[in-house]
Amino acid sequence: WATFADDVAAILRLKEEHNAVILAHNYQTPEIFHCVSDIVGDSLALAREAQTVEADIIVMAGVEFMAETAKLLNPSKTVLIPSAEAGCSLAESITADDVKLLRQRYPGVPVVTYVNTSADVKAQSDICCTSGNAKKVIESLGVEEVIMIPDEFLAQNIAKETGVKVITWKGHCEVHERFTPQEIREWRKAYPGLVVLAHPECPPEVVAEADFSGSTAGMSDYVASAEKSSRVLLVTECSMSDNLAVQHPDVNFVRPCNLCPHMKRITLAAIRHALETQTVPVTVDEAVAEPARLAIERMLAV
Ligand code: 13P
Ligand code: SF4
């Protein structure tokens, strides 16, 4: 407890001293999410908020692609990621050369790229999307077919919702791919009346078992409007339920979950160290930054 309180106090002081703000993703642990963050949200909200930060330093309590997106959208700021190892299985599944090959194979088909990718991959794309706006982004293109990379399950789930044909890539989120339809059916049997919310990075058979599917912010909003004393299962990363349980003590959360090892590399100690040493600064090569920024800005304009 002493270390925890000491880290929180130090982080609050260091933020003042260095004119820094902390942006935290919904998968951060409650002590980060509730005690030291200035802005919290899903990938889309963090990108939007990063654009208008006026402080000198942005500390991204999230993973690398989120820090890179913040840097692309607000390049004059110092963006720090508290762990250089906070990657993402989706971002690692595809390279810029893979996208070039896809374009050669499917000439003229627009490339819609999930934000969970490197700046290099975004730079080869027509437009980005997040789980919160994928449907809107795809529909905005007014085409019958898109290349939607790299999350195969998100692409399949969105194809079902929009009727647009998708050419997919075999990337998966290592957290969401582990959920199965059987386990959801078992939880429903154990808790009649259970409300099931699933992230669209889950396999389509899992999403088919849910009452609602949406981004982490979509799930948050759903819980906020749920009846008091409902029993809710969030089919997503573990910290989501922990954070929402603090905000909604009347809701009962069933807590099977899968941890994201990348998100969990960000700790209070790592954030404190980042602020003390101004590490690790995110940089994006200018030749890549310009087209990558364009793909994100097109998404934000939808
Ligand atoms: P959202 O918060 O945008 O739903 O994305 C979840 C995610 O994959 C973050 O790792
Ligand atoms: Fe990547 Fe999945 Fe972790 Fe999000 S939860 S950072 S998509 S591995």
Q: Is 260 in the pocket of ligand 2 (CB under 6 A)?
A: yes
CA angle 140, 145, 151 (to 5 degrees): 85
Q: pLDDT category, 231, cuts 50, 70, 90?
A: very high
Q: Does pTM top 0.95 for this prediction?
A: yes
Q: Where in the chain is the domain with CATH 3.40.50.10800?
A: 2-87+263-277, 91-173, 176-254
Does the 2-87+263-277 domain belong in CATH 3.40.50.10800? Answer: yes
Q: What is the pLDDT of residues 24-69, one digit of tens each?
A: 999 999 999 999 999 999 999 999 999 999 999 999 999 999 999 9
Specify the residue with its C-alpha closest to ligand 1, atom 7. 43
From the candidate CATH numbers 3.90.76.10, 3.40.50.10800, 2.40.160.10, 1.10.1070.11, the one assigned to the domain spanning 176-254: 3.40.50.10800
Most informative mutation of 39, 42, 136 for ligand 1 (most atoms within 8 A of CB): 42
Residue ranges at the known binding site for [4Fe-4S] cluster: 88, 173, 260
Asked which of 124-128, 227-231, 241-245, 293-297 is least confident by mean pLDDT, the reply is 227-231
pLDDT tier at 255 (50, 70, 90 boundaries)? confident
Closest ligand 2 atom, CA of 63?
A: 6
Least confident span in 1-10, 38-47, 156-165, 195-204 = 1-10
Mean pLDDT of the chain: 97
Among the four given CATH numbers 1.25.40.20, 3.40.50.1700, 3.30.1360.30, 3.40.50.10800, the one describing domain 91-173:
3.40.50.10800
Residue nearest to atom 2 of ligand 2 (CA): 173
